[in-house]
């Protein structure tokens, strides 16, 4: 890679915001908000938020007009100032009735996203609902959707996205000389590997995931933001 800029890219849930039982309750961490406000103003730094959330949802939670938003696992991309770079039509699928009944009876929550259906089980022991989640995975595969695993959530998503592909595209587009990425989940492993090869990969530890190779494991937001500040010499 050539050029002089550093691409500073962050996952959202679990990286810039503490995970909550209900994804609708998740809010940007205060120190993260301050870090974004400062880094998006810095010369030679390009900031990106990379998330599985819809772009509208993500931009409503993260007030960082100077950042790129890579949303819907790369299916939606907005440049600084909200400039539309990529969008694809919404997903329109329905669960078959047996699966719908099983999910309703199990107490699991289905979240309808712009490009995906997400099945959430945070707060419910996995063993209790494993057969229903397996049925959901099978339905997604049969429906030619991507199956994306998250922390206590699985998504059936319109194909064509991918955080790593989107991050690679952005790194090229902005001519990044160095890529720093922070994430906490399986869908971050691709971007983390790319960042480890081109800069630095920071992994937010949790009891739910084993860190991939090549990353710096951080135990708290405070530690993560300290390291990011070091990276950009704030």
Q: Using CB under 5 A, list all residues that contact Mg ion.
A: 11, 13-14, 184-185
Q: Which residue is nearest to Mg ion (CB)?
A: 14
CA distance 170 to 221: 25
Q: Which is nearer to Mg ion, 10 or 139 (CB)?
A: 10
Q: Closest separation between CB of residue 152 and Mg ion, Å?
A: 11
CA distance 194 to 197: 5
Q: Which is nearer to Mg ion, 155 or 184 (CB)?
A: 184
Contact 203, 193 (CB under 8 A): no
Q: Closest separation between CB of residue 180 and Mg ion, Å?
A: 16
Cα separation of the two ends of the chain:
24
Q: Which is nearer to Mg ion, 58 or 156 (CB)?
A: 58
Q: Closest separation between CB of residue 169 and Mg ion, Å?
A: 20
Distances (CA, A) of 155 to 76, 89, 109: 16, 17, 12
Q: Which is nearer to Mg ion, 143 or 216 (CB)?
A: 216
| Token pair listed for 46 | 């390009």
Q: Closest separation between CB of residue 76 and Mg ion, Å?
A: 17
Q: Which is nearer to Mg ion, 18 or 80 (CB)?
A: 18
Q: Which of 19, 33, 60 is nearest to 150 (CA)?
A: 19
Beta strand ranges found along the chain (DSSP E) = 5-11, 45-50, 68-71, 76-79, 83-86, 109-112, 116-120, 146-150, 153-157, 176-183, 199-204, 216-218
Q: Closest separation between CB of residue 20 and Mg ion, Å?
A: 12
């Amino acid at each position: 890679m050539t050029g002089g800029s550093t691409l500073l890219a962050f996952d959202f849930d679990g990286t810039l915001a503490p995970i909550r039982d209900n994804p609708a309750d998740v809010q940007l961490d205060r120190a993260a908000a301050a870090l974004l406000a400062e880094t998006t103003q810095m010369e030679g730094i390009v900031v990106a938020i990379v998330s599985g959330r819809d772009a509208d949802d993500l931009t409503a939670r993260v007030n960082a007009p100077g950042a790129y938003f890579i949303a819907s696992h790369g299916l939606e991309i907005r440049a600084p100032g909200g400039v539309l770079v990529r969008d694809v039509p919404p997903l329109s699928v329905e669960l078959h009735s047996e699966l719908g009944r099983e999910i309703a009876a199990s107490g699991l929550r289905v979240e309808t996203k712009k490009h995906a259906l997400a099945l959430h089980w945070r707060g419910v022991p996995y063993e209790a609902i494993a057969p229903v989640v397996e049925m959901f995975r099978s339905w997604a595969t049969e429906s030619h959707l991507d199956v994306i695993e998250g922390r206590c959530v699985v998504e059936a998503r319109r194909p064509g996205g991918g955080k790593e592909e989107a991050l690679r595209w952005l790194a090229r587009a902005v001519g990044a000389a160095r890529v720093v990425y922070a994430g906490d989940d399986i869908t971050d492993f691709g971007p983390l590997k790319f960042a480890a090869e081109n800069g630095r990969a920071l992994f937010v530890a949790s009891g739910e995931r084993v860190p991939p190779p090549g990353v710096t494991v951080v135990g708290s937001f405070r530690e993560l933001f300290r390291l990011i500040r070091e990276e950009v010499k704030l």
